Structure 1
Amino acid sequence: MKNTLLAPLFVIFILLNTVLVQSAHASTNKQTLLILGDSLSAGYGLEVEQSWVYLLKQDWQQKYPNRQIINASISGDTTSGGLNRFKQLLNEFKPTWVLIELGGNDGLRGFQLSTIKQNLTQLVQLSQQHNAEPILAEIKIPPNYGQRYVALFIKQYHQIASEFKLDLIPFFIESVATQPDLMQNDGIHPNAKAQTQIKTYMDKHLNQAIESE
């Protein structure tokens, strides 16, 4: 009688164990996009579910079930701040791709251009050293420190992309930044109404970068 009961229980145990192993294997096979950004990607002034990153994550869950997005963006972050926490993020999430969306706060504060470029370069190199494909987001800033500073600031993104043969995503809020009804009162951050448009733009350019590998 005992042997009769143990047989089906053993089969159930084997089946459950197989399902758990397969689930764990499936999760480890996911391709991860790590977004290292500032307030433009952190959803400053918005509810989490309103931000373009959250909207993109929802889309990708349906269209690309083997992908996941980790948003490591922090409002107010700089290239040096991102660099300080980057190794830990790489070790924790082991991303397939890294979207580097930093530099805006550096530029708004007038940081030395050479320091900004050096930090961005190190972010790219660290990504590659950890077998992650870096994708660089171009950043533009207001002419607070003069046109020459702005021109050189923007040029650095193109220089880094060219040097490392990276996909460079053109400034992703440029199309909404000139429309007051799509911006928050500070004139710097897109509002909730703009997020779907930004999500569509980033979906297109990120997929182009991923498919070009």
Structure 2
Amino acid sequence: MSATLAGAAGLLGAGASFAQAAPQTILIMGDSLSAEYGLKRGEGWVALLQKRLAEQKIDARVVNASISGETTSGGRSRMDALLKLNKPDVMVLELGANDALRGLAIKDSEANLTAMTKAAQAAGAKVLLLGMQVPPNYGMDYLNRFSRMFTGTGSATGAPVVPFFLKGVADAPDPIKMFQADRIHPVAAAHPQMLDNVWPQLRKLLK
């Protein structure tokens, strides 16, 4: 091999190594549960995720695009711009709870979740869906259909699903202690459990 070709090969090899070393991007699309509502900065599960990635020496950056009060339709309207801007390798989709609070049609919410998931996948991202549950006072029929909304989206798109994002929090022995005064938003002490609920599935999607 000539010196010129050897030099070129060396540059190509360096470029390939650089590309492999680029950090992965994890985009979080959520509502107040992911936007640290009522918490000090750094106490929410998304901030704790960034710390865990560093502790486990996983080269990834977390982009938190969550907005308090966000619905699936609001997330869908922002999706394309966020995908183009951040080019995520993984997207965590945590939306749907506010749809239930506003009494929006489940079929429309599921259509939005499915559209967002497919858009992210088409852009090259792996998607993780975080499922939620509504209280029994919504009625068992609505409760079951709402829960199936997430598994239905997962089945339609092949995306993995965390069945209940607030497992161990909303169904804790004394759940009142796990929530702020509004009884909707978890306190800081609950967020490590929320991260633990997400982590096993999320870890599988990371390089």
TM-score, shorter chain, exceeding 0.5: yes
Q: How far apart are the structure 2 equivalents of 1:111 and 1:182?
A: 27
Question: Residues 28, 86 of structure 1: CA spacing in aligned structure 2 closer, same or farther, 3 A cutoff?
Answer: farther
Distance apart, 1:56 and its partner CA: 1.2
Counterpart of 1:12 in structure 2 is none
Counterpart of 1:155 in structure 2 is 148
Pairwise mapping of residues 124-135 of structure 1 onto structure 2 (< 5 A)?
124-135=117-128
> What do you get for the CA RMSD once the two structures are aligned?
2.2
Counterpart of 1:201 in structure 2 is 197
Counterpart of 1:192 in structure 2 is 188
Pairwise mapping of residues 1-213 of structure 1 onto structure 2 (< 5 A)?
25=18, 29-178=22-171, 179-208=175-204, 210=205
Deviations 1:61-111 (A, max 9, x none): 232342111111111000010011111110011000111110000011110
Amino acid at match of 1:63: Q
CA contact (8 A) 2:167 2:194 kept: no
Amino acid at match of 1:77: E
Amino acid at match of 1:30: P
CA contact (8 A) 2:24 2:89 kept: yes
Q: How far apart are the structure 2 equivalents of 1:45 and 1:104?
A: 17
Q: How far apart are the structure 2 equivalents of 1:81 and 1:28?
A: 34
CA contact (8 A) 1:177 1:188 kept: no
Which has the higher mean CA deviation after the structures are superposed, 54-63 or 100-109?
A: 54-63
Distance apart, 1:200 and its partner CA: 2.6
Question: Residues 65, 151 of structure 1: CA spacing in aligned structure 2 closer, same or farther, 3 A cutoff?
Answer: closer
Q: How far apart are the structure 1 equivalents of 2:60 and 2:124?
A: 16
Distance apart, 1:197 and its partner CA: 2.1
CA contact (8 A) 2:114 2:156 kept: no
Distance apart, 1:28 and its partner CA: 7.8
TM-score (norm: length of structure 1): 0.82
Q: How far apart are the structure 2 equivalents of 1:101 and 1:204?
A: 16
Distance apart, 1:199 and its partner CA: 2.1
Distance apart, 1:27 and its partner CA: 9.9
Q: How far apart are the structure 1 equivalents of 2:137 and 2:101?
A: 7
TM-score (norm: length of structure 2): 0.84
Distance apart, 1:144 and its partner CA: 4.5
**Secondary structure in 2 matching 1:74:** coil
Asked which structure has the greater CA Rg, the reply is 1
**Secondary structure in 2 matching 1:174:** coil
Q: How far apart are the structure 2 equivalents of 1:193 and 1:61?
A: 21
Q: Which has the higher helix share?
A: 1
Deviation beyond 4 Å, 4+ runs, structure 1: 25-28
**Secondary structure in 2 matching 1:70:** strand
